[in-house]
Chains A and B, each alone.
Chain A
Amino acid sequence: ETGVTQTPRHLVMGMTNKKSLKCEQHLGHNAMYWYKQSAKKPLELMFVYNFKEQTENNSVPSRFSPECPNSSHLFLHLHTLQPEDSALYLCASSPMFDTDNYEQYFGPGTRLTVT
C-alpha cells in the first residue's frame, strides 16, 4: 500500500450513530490533516497534527473528535452528527511541519452521508 489511504470510502449513518473514519499514510510524513469538502465550498481545514500532537482545531464542533496515535495513523470519531455534516472528508499528510514545504498529499476521501 502506498500514499495515503482512507477507510471506509463511503459511509451512511444516522444522527444517533457513532462511527470512525481512518486514515493511514505510508510516506513517512510527520504532519497529518483532516479536511471537509462540501459542495460549492472551498476545502475547510478541520484539524492538524504534528508528530502526533494536535496543533490546530479550526473551531470544529465537538461531535467530531480526532485521534492520532502515531505519525502514520489518524482517526476521526463521529457521534450525533447533523445532516449538514454530510460531505467528503479528506485526510492529508505532509513531510515536515516547521519548514516552508507546504506540499500536502491527500487520500481519496470518505463520502459521508448523515440521514
Chain B
Amino acid sequence: TQLLEQSPQFLSIQEGENLTVYCNSSSVFSSLQWYRQEPGEGPVLLVTVVTGGEVKKLKRLTFQFGDARKDSSLHITAAQTGDTGLYLCAGGLGAQKLVFGQGTRLTINP
C-alpha cells in the first residue's frame, strides 16, 4: 500500500498552461516537502511546508499543505520548458524519516 499517492503520474502540457499536481495520504505528517529531479541527477529540494493550511510561493510555483496535514498540492502557473522533470512529494514521519510518493513526471512542450 502506497503511503503517499501522487497524481497524475504523468502530465504533458504546452508551454504557458497552468497545472496542478496532488499528493495525498491517509497519514498525518509533521512536514511535507516537494523535490524536483532531472534525469541522471538526485532530487533537489524545492520547499518544505509544516503548518496545516500553509501556502508557499516560489516564483511561478505555489505549494499548499492541507489543513489536516495529510495532503499537499503544487500549482505551476504559465509553465515553461525548464519546469520539465520528476516532481516528488515526501512526508516527514518522525526520527528524520521521509516517505516519498512515486512521483509525477511532468513534460512541458514548446
Binding site for B on A (CB under 8 A): 4, 6, 31, 40-43, 45, 48, 50, 55-56, 90-92, 94, 97, 100-109, 111
Contacts and interface: CB of A to CB of B under 8 A. Distances in A.
B98 A104 contact: yes
A65 to B, nearest CB: 21
B33 A4 contact: no
B101 A100 contact: no
Interface of B: 2, 4, 30-31, 33, 35, 40-45, 48, 50, 88, 90, 92, 95-103
A92 B51 CA distance: 24
Nearest to A30: B96
Contacts of A45: 97-99
Contacts of A90: 42-43
Contacts of A92: 42
Contact of B50 (A55, A56, A94, A100): A100
Contacts of B92: 100, 102
